Amino acid sequence: MSVQTISTTPFEDQNPGTSGLRKTVPVFRQPHYLENFVQSIFDSVTGYQGKTLVLGGDGRFFNSVAIQVILKMAAANGFGKVMVGQYGILSTPAASCLIRKYGTFGGIILSASHNPGGLSGDFGIKYNIGNGGPAPEKVTNAIYARSREIREFKISDAPDVDLGKTGSVRMENMTIEVIDPVTDYAELMQSIFDFDAIRSLFAGGFRFRFDAMHAVCGPYARTIIEKMLGAPEGTVVNAVPLEDFGGHHPDPNPVNAKELMDYMNGPDGADMGAATDGDGDRNMIVGRHIAVTPSDSLAILAANATLIPGYSGGIAGIARSMPTSTAADRVAVALQVSCYETPTGWKFFGDLLDDNKITLCGEESYGTSSNHIREKDGIWAILFWLNLLAVTGKSVNEIVHDHWKSYGRNYYSRHDYVNIDSRQAAALMDHLRSQLDGLAGKRFGRYMIEKADEFSYTDPVDGSVSGRQGIRIFFTDGSRIVFRLSGTGTVGATLRVYFDRYEKDRIDQDLSAALGELIGIAGEVADIARFTGLKKPTLIT
């Protein structure tokens, strides 16, 4: 067993996006592609000699190959220890939990999240820093810069490690500790929520369906929901993680979690349904005939936080990504706490959480979490809802409607135009940019534009500035349209258009009727059909 130094040449495209480096599996399987990026991570951080790294992924195709490569590179580069999930499995929130609990140097998470997996699906790699959260932009920029000049990487020629057994083995001067992926995370959940109350809920016949979408949460949900909380066996469906997620798109929204939606809207629907994504950080909450929008979910959790043991002392503040609806803002006003608006990307919440400016945060893209870790957390959000239902005795529908009655309702929807030509997508954004100065005062039917701008964020903790984070059109009635390009796709570009309309009293309108006029305005102002070549969105959530 010895350390090899291998010559390499840089790849030009290793620029981490919204959440790490995401590419198709064939791109990752090019010789040295993974190795270059991993070495670029190690070369961009200092002080890890002898320290511990957390390593795991969502089990998608290429996970097991990449884990072995990274173990050998960590050993060759001088890490003292790697804590790796059994079979290479760790959900993203569990990885964040481990980094924080054991005070490790950082972690590497292998996932392309909600993107499909398999031989020609997507793969991804993300570096998390010592606070348990995604590396901030200054680190990801350094990794990218390094990847463009890298000339060699270090790797041990040790044989592959058996990751099927928990326990410790040695590689070079490094210890590899293979751990149960669920235990520490389950303990953390138990320390936050009222497990007795949720147990009584299930004991009383409450019916719940958890769709793990053949992704990483299956084993976590079986242990926590069925074994620890006593939900009947079979409550967790699609519970066995598969390398290709059973050919499905592991994205918990009403379109991709159709099986769950059909069940919940059918004659035999459960009292509550929930789904999680590929790596377990996203969640969707469903009641009988109602899917809770992620923006509403954040607002509702914030408004009711003191009912949960882990937040009984109140919350310090709330943050939401810019395109997320403004529902949480009104809760913050009522609670007299600050509400921060950040760019899309969980990494932007890290500083606010570390600085204790906020306790809860969330995004329209089905992500919600709190200061317990530094990632969004699917199972945490689901347990939060179960805990709320248990202590209030209300249904999902009642909780949502009661919230709207108190705070008003944000009618909200996102339209995605997927895999469009990258140049055309950039041209559409330029077209919008060129109009920004002249939009204020323009009238479209009953809507009048109040102002329009391009969102730029100054981090209130470290002062770093992130520009070009989406174009916003504000209307005089408080409605908004937001345009931005996704940073997580792997092919072409994806345009996201977000619609948010607030109504104080008229809370029971049909969603498409409520947003119809705004949708027409977006198409007209951005000339969407011309630039995308698409007459309608690929996906509406």
| Burial letters 27-54, b for 16+ CB under 10 A, else e | bbeeebbbbbbbbbbbbbbeebeeebbb
| Burial letters 496-528, b for 16+ CB under 10 A, else e | bbbbbbbbeeebeeeeeebbeebbebbbebbeb
What is 304-317 written as a DSSP string?
TGGGSGGGTT--SE
Question: Judging by beta carbons within 10 Å of its beta carbon (0-12, 13-18, 19+), is residue 169 exposed, middle or buried?
Answer: middle
* Pattern 370-409, ligand G16, x by CB under 6 A: ----------------------------------------
* Active-site position among 19, 44, 113, 147: 113
Cα of 522 vs its chain's centroid, Å: 26
CA distances to 65, 244, 304 from 69, in Å: 7, 21, 45
Based on the shown chain and the rule CB under 6 A, indicate whether residue 415 belongs to the binding site for ligand G16: no
Residues 297-316 close enough to bind ligand G16 by CB under 6 A: none
Residues 34-93 close enough to bind ligand G16 by CB under 6 A: none
113 is catalytic: yes
Cα of 137 vs its chain's centroid, Å: 17
Based on the shown chain and the rule CB under 6 A, indicate whether residue 282 belongs to the binding site for ligand G16: yes
Q: Which tokens belong to 210?
A: 């958890």
Residues 17-36 close enough to bind ligand G16 by CB under 6 A: 18-19
Based on the shown chain and the rule CB under 6 A, indicate whether residue 531 belongs to the binding site for ligand G16: no
Cβ distance 91 to 183 under 8 Å? no
* Pattern 234-273, ligand G16, x by CB under 6 A: ----------------------------------------
User: For ligand G16, which residue of 248, 249, 414, 496 counts as binding (CB under 6 A)?
Assistant: 496
Based on the shown chain and the rule CB under 6 A, indicate whether residue 486 belongs to the binding site for ligand G16: yes
Based on the shown chain and the rule CB under 6 A, indicate whether residue 365 belongs to the binding site for ligand G16: yes
Shortest spacing between CB 476 and ligand G16, in angstroms: 27
Q: Select 193 or 346, whichever has its Cβ closest to ligand G16.
A: 346
Helix 378-392 with 396-407: angle, nearest 10 deg: 90
How many residues belong to the site for ligand G16 (CB under 6 A)?
17
- Of the candidate spans 157-165, 215-223, 292-300, 484-492, the one that interacts with ligand G16 by CB under 6 A turns out to be 484-492
Residues 319-338 close enough to bind ligand G16 by CB under 6 A: 321
**Angle at the Cα of 424 (from 420 to 429), degrees rounded to 5?**
105
User: For ligand G16, which residue of 23, 60, 114, 214 counts as binding (CB under 6 A)?
Assistant: 114
User: For ligand G16, which residue of 10, 80, 118, 487 counts as binding (CB under 6 A)?
Assistant: 487
Q: Select 88 or 367, whichever has its Cβ closest to ligand G16.
A: 367
| Burial letters 97-113, b for 16+ CB under 10 A, else e | bbbbeeebbbbbbbbbb
**Angle at the Cα of 449 (from 446 to 450), degrees rounded to 5?**
125
Q: Which residues bind ligand G16 (CB under 6 A)?
A: 18-19, 113-114, 281-282, 321, 344-346, 363, 365, 367, 486-488, 496
Catalytic residues: 113
